Structure 1
Amino acid sequence: MEAKQYVDGVLKEINKTNPGEKEFIDAATEVLNSLVPVFDKHPEFMRAALLERIVEPERQIIFRVPWVDDNGNVKVNRGFRVQFNSAIGPYKGGLRLHPSVNLSIVKFLGFEQIFKNSLTGLPIGGGKGGSDFNPKGKSDNEIMRFCQSFMAELYKYIGGNMDVPAGDIGVGGREIGYLYGYYKKLKSLSEQAVLTGKGLTFGGSLARTEATGYGLVYFTDEMLKDNKTSFEGKTVVISGSGNVAIYATQKAQELGAKVVALSDSNGYIYDENGINLDVVKEIKEIKRGRIKEYLHSVPSAKYEDGCKNIWKIKCDIALPCATQEEIDEEAAKILVQNGVKVVAEGANMPSTLVAIDVFQSNNVLFGPAKAANAGGVACSALEMSQNSMRLSWTFEEVDEKLQEIMKNIYHNAKNAAHEYGHEGNILMGANIAGFMKVAEAMMAQGIV
């Protein structure tokens, strides 16, 4: 059987057996289509039905999460954990709390996590989880009660050598603290490596908060350097205003760029003089407020309701750090018309497949999420290492390791693209490089 015929057959079966799961199907389509040259070169992978196995999660867990709000009303949410692939290590991936969470989104995130984790070079497999619970507007006590109910079921399926969740959208240090506290109570043991993103007083790692945003910029900087340019003097638009966006902004500014826009789910701000990050941190990290409040401190800035038009702002570098599929074909074309030179993804799959085609067909340097935003999970794995050794590294030690990991991810993706006939296509290269490590591990371990 020809490789293209084989891949097309697997994709047809995915569409048949996962009806309505658009996000997962899109993620699988993007990855599998890029692997045709791999199967041309390695027909033994087809004989071992590697694709059929890698697109099917090893385990999917769905459970109810009952909790009581501050008014005494009983609420019920749905919890998920998809343990996708453990060929190279324990499942590793975040927990997302957001009303949009469903099985398709968790599967798409878990599938991407397989290759992202592989690219870090660290021994971690792919998984993801979360709930359709919305933490916005909830009190600390409501969030604690939800997290405890969620963990009352999840604890059965996780552990430092089995599955190590972390944070994602809606899950920060507060939520991780509540989750870990209840896990410890249920298990009657202090197993710090079971969750990452913990507070520094109970096993957390320095630089973990900054890691995804910093890593995104380190990856992008390496891509820029490889193309004889840098962040210096560049205008940057960043979507989002959570950890990833905030610390991408900080590092980009340190490297000489001017970040002019940030957003949240309500709208976006534009500050032609460059974002005042101290103001944003106070709004988002201390007050947990809305980005519109930026105008209270910087009245010369502009605010617009809705997020989509942020991509109409002229920029040299676009770093989407908000959510999946925020850049569609129209937004991508506008970015290209306005002269964007680089797009690197800080969120998970923020560009649609068509948008990616627009970027690549117009010679825009493109850093795919599974490579560009791998800094967070890389630092999570470093946190696991510190927990296992019962020690803590300095911020500088962790940051140095993070920089090296992100540089290696870029060059491994670039080299894989070259080896398999897709020179300069970092998306193809990242998919191939991430896949090959997992494929070789699966081949060595037999049909399991």
Structure 2
Amino acid sequence: MVAPHEPEFDQAYKEIISSVEDSKLFNAHPELRRVLPIISIPERVLQFRVTWEDDQGNCRVNTGYRVQFNSALGPYKGGLRFHPSVNLSILKFLGFEQIFKNALTGLPMGGGKGGSDFDPKGKSDSEIRRFSQAFMRQLFRYIGPQTDVPAGDIGVTGFVVNAMFGEYKRLRDEYSGVLTGKHMLTGGSNVRPEATGFGVVYYVCHMIQYASKSTKGITGKRVAISGSGNVAQYAALKCMELGAVVKSLSDSKGALIATSPEGLTPDVIYKIQELKEKRLAITDSLELTNKHKFIAGARPWTHVGEVDIALPCATQNEVSGEEAEALIKAGCRFVAEGSNMGSSAEAVEVFEKSRANGKGCWLAPGKAANAGGVAVSGLEMAQNAQFSTWSHSEVDGRLADIMNSIFTQSTDAASKYCESGSNNLPSLFDGANLAGFIRVARAMEAIADWW
């Protein structure tokens, strides 16, 4: 089922298996066990050559992929990632996670993921556009608004989505909601850029309220954030808006740590947005590195000092077991993953053990905490189908409702099928896995999707 050379997919698969096998689910519903060996195999894996021309007129070649994992609940839905690290193991892990994440939103979306080993860094806008168009010339045969609806991910910005959408429109001679994350003038949705970051913060506010019975939420809490892309930026801005103190951000070159008690400020985020639009690093701004502490080659977790909340928003396995221990010692009580599988298997074990003992962090996995992005993508699909545009407040309200529903599904499933810790906090990690699995398994059962 899982190849030995696919470590990321192996980790994601084992997380689901451990949650369902170690729970009471199959005692109550033994008929759902038959889904396990089927749901772990993608319905279709596409791999193709992408040839494009650089600014010097040289022919360049990259590999493109689309993993169409499960369509029991709706069209395949999941992002495209352009990064040199992209391979089938990473895309299968992301697509597998996407199945259950999309299920938790309650919207009619299956799970998929795709991308290429193309690296946008160091490329001109013209080169990125030519590559994006060439990529779509290979992918367009296999996608459509009722079949597979890709979106953006790491390296796939709004600029890239728009280039691909324009190429699809030319190739198909049709104007349809085949991609999400589009420009507002071409069928995009309000709140889509902010959705993942905002959703993570909405989710962690529910965690705080549940655990402490406090209505203050995130106000006054000290927050460590990793990453500096779209998710991290809007998570930081929402934290600031709600009165939290943001102590860090990071990128591939190192961690930016706030030097004042007030933490980072919105102007820092706006500066980082400018840098990232130009595909530059934090270290390319002396303004930022002189004003705050920058630690080269580091992640923020062991450098931020005392914190209440950690939001990993960069990439997979970005919190190690040792860093998880350090966060707990620094006072961290809530971890919500803005990235997919942001905590390593060792970190998950540390967090879950501390929760069960009533002494440490309460972990929210990415498939629950960062589902806001794909939720608003689903809302964009609905708007496209209606040829309508909903207001910012309407979309934001629906996003908040969906994140509330995902939190409730996670706690309900964990309370029903798992043992609670000594402080009566249910496992959000197991609860999200169980709630997502049950919904997909029931859909597969309804349409006999195992024959």
With the shorter chain as reference, the TM-score category is: over 0.9
Tell me whether 1:306 sits opposite 2:297 in the alignment. Answer: yes
Q: Which residue of 2 aligns with 1:429?
A: 431
Please tell me the residue identity of whatever aligns with 1:353. A
Which structure 2 residues correspond to residues 69-80 of structure 1 after superposition, within 5 A? 69-80=54-65
Q: Percent same amino acid among aligned pairs?
A: 51
Structure 1 length-normalised TM: 0.94
- Unaligned regions of 5+ residues in structure 2, if any? 356-360, 421-425
- Give the distance between the partners of 1:61 and 1:297, measured in 2 at CA: 42
Aligned-pair distance for 1:291? 1.4
4+ residue segments displaced more than 6 Å = none
Report the equivalent of 1:441: 443
User: Per the alignment, in what secondary structure is the counterpart of residue 79 of structure 2?
Assistant: strand
Q: Does 1:381 align with 2:378?
A: yes
Task: Decide whether aligned partners of structure 1 residues 302 and 280 sit closer, same or farther in structure 2, where only a CA change above 3 A counts.
Answer: same
1:335 corresponds in structure 2 to: 327
Verify the 8 A CA contact 2:150 2:178 in the aligned structure 1.
Answer: yes
Deviation at 1:298, TM superposition (A): 6.8
The match for 2:270 is 281
What letter matches 2:156 in structure 1?
V
Aligned 8 A contact 1:102 1:132 in 2: yes
The worse-fitting range, judged by mean Cα deviation, of 404-413 and 304-313 is: 304-313
Q: 1:58 aligns with which of 43, 58, 82?
A: 43
For residues 172-183 of structure 1, the aligned pairs below 5 Å read 172-183=157-168
CA contact (8 A) 2:35 2:441 kept: yes
Task: Give runs of aligned pairs for residues 157-172 of structure 1, distance below 5 A.
Answer: 157-172=142-157
Who is 1:5 aligned against?
A: none
Q: Does 1:124 align with 2:109?
A: yes
Structure 1 spans left out of the alignment, 5+ residues? 1-13
Give the secondary-structure state (helix, strand or coil) at the position aligned to 1:82: strand
Match of 1:420? 417
Aligned to 1:9: none
Q: CA deviation at 1:275?
A: 1.2
Residues matched between the structures, number: 430
Contact 1:269 1:292 in 2 (8 A): no
Alignment-mate amino acid for residue 331 of structure 1: E
Q: For residues 267-304 of structure 1, what are the alpha-carbon distances to aligned partners after superposition, in whole Å with 9 as ceiling and x for unaligned? A: 11111331123233233344442112454157331111
SS in 1 for 2:194: helix
Whether 2:210 is the aligned partner of 1:226: answer yes
| Contact kept in structure 2, 1:312 and 1:334, CA below 8 Å | no
Deviations 1:7-64 (A, max 9, x none): xxxxxxx34xx12100001000001111123222212123xx3111100000000011
Candidates 179, 184, 194, aligned match of 1:200: 184
Residue 327 of structure 1 contacts residue 352 of structure 1 at CA under 8 Å; is this kept in 2? yes
| Counterpart secondary structure, 2:193 | helix
Question: Given residue 250 of structure 2, which amino acid in structure 1 is its aligned partner?
Answer: S
User: Equivalent residue for 1:8?
Assistant: none
Amino acid of the residue matched to residue 380 of structure 2?
A: E
CA distance in 2, matches of 1:163, 1:264: 31
Code of the aligned partner of 1:406: M
TM-fit CA distance, 1:310: 4.0
2 CA distance for matches of 1:102 and 1:370? 20
Alignment CA distance shift 1:444-1:262 (3 Å): same
Measure, in 1, the Cα distance between the counterparts of 2:202 and 2:35: 33
Please state how far the C-alpha of 1:335 moved relative to its aligned partner.
1.0
Distance in 2 of aligned mates of 1:256 and 1:283: 20
Matched, 1:392 2:381: no
Corresponding position of 2:358: none
Is the contact between residue 301 and residue 323 of structure 2 (CA under 8 Å) also seen in structure 1? no
Aligned counterpart, 2:341: 349
Aligned partners of 2:143, 2:349: CA distance in 1, in Å? 38
Tell whether the 8 Å contact from 2:240 to 2:265 is kept in structure 1 after alignment. no
1:422 alignment partner AA: E
Task: Tell me the secondary structure at the aligned position of residue 208 of structure 1.
Answer: coil
1:290-340 Cα deviation digits (max 9, x unpaired):
112454157331111113354432211100000001111111111112111
CA RMSD of aligned residues (A): 1.3
Q: 1:129 to 1:44 in 2, by over 3 A?
A: same
